[in-house]
């Protein structure tokens, strides 16, 4: 699989691309924020990630947050890799529908609840992302599934020169 540039059209129904406004003012990105549990509490964390050790990236596991949307907002970052897919009819990841995107340092995302995704992977440099979701402290906060391994390549036109 080859990653392509992250755009709102390409991400489609799986989430929303967050980009800072170009003009003075405020943009709201709350349309896809959702929590389906009364016991869920807002959770804001900051994740520090090291760049992928090598490419292509071998993917063996995906995760989802069945009851909460999840947002990733770069704070100090280079490009990063977003790997997503919808749920299959059995509730597991629909690996046949996996998509991979290279996000710019100025792009964040909100993934709809129940969207399967790979863990946060950064490409060029160590990076920090703010992560927002709802949690209730139970195992239902996140689900991990092993998948048949597949590779994600970042094509030359998307690589740093």
Q: What pLDDT shows up at residue 158?
A: 61
Residue 126 lies in a domain: yes
- Give the domain range for residue 134: 4-19+33-146
Label residue 42 by pLDDT band (50, 70, 90): very high
Residues belonging to the chain = 161
Which secondary structure element, helix H or strand E, spans residue 151, and what is its range?
strand 143-152
Can you give the pTM of this predicted structure?
0.93
Residue 142 lies in a domain: yes
Rounded mean pLDDT of 80-105?
Answer: 97
| Integer angstrom CA distances of residue 13 from 9, 10, 16, 51, 86 | 9, 9, 8, 28, 9
Q: Residue 10 belongs to a domain with what CATH number? A: 2.60.120.480
d(CA 54, CA 56): 6
Residue 153 lies in a domain: no
The total of structural domains in the chain comes to 1
* pLDDT tens for each residue of 2-23: 999 999 999 999 999 999 888 9
* pLDDT tens for each residue of 109-158: 999 999 999 999 999 899 999 999 999 999 999 999 999 999 999 987 66
Residue 40 lies in a domain: yes
Residue 157 lies in a domain: no
């Amino acid at each position: 699989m080859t990653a392509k540039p992250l755009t709102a059209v390409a991400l489609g129904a799986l989430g929303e691309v967050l980009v800072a406004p170009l003009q003075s003012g405020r943009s709201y990105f709350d349309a896809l924020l959702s929590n389906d549990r009364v016991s869920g509490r807002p959770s804001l964390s900051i994740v520090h990630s090291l760049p992928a050790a090598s490419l292509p990236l071998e993917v063996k596991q995906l995760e989802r947050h069945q009851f909460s949307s999840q947002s990733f907002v770069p704070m100090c970052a280079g490009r990063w890799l977003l790997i997503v897919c919808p749920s299959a009819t059995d509730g597991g990841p629909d690996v046949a529908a996996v998509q991979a995107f290279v996000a710019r340092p100025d792009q964040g995302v909100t993934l709809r609840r129940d969207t399967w995704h790979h863990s946060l992977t950064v490409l060029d440099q160590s990076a920090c992302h703010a992560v927002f979701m709802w949690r209730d402290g139970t195992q239902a906060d996140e689900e991990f599934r092993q998948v048949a391994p597949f590779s994600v390549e970042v094509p030359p036109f998307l690589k740093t020169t």
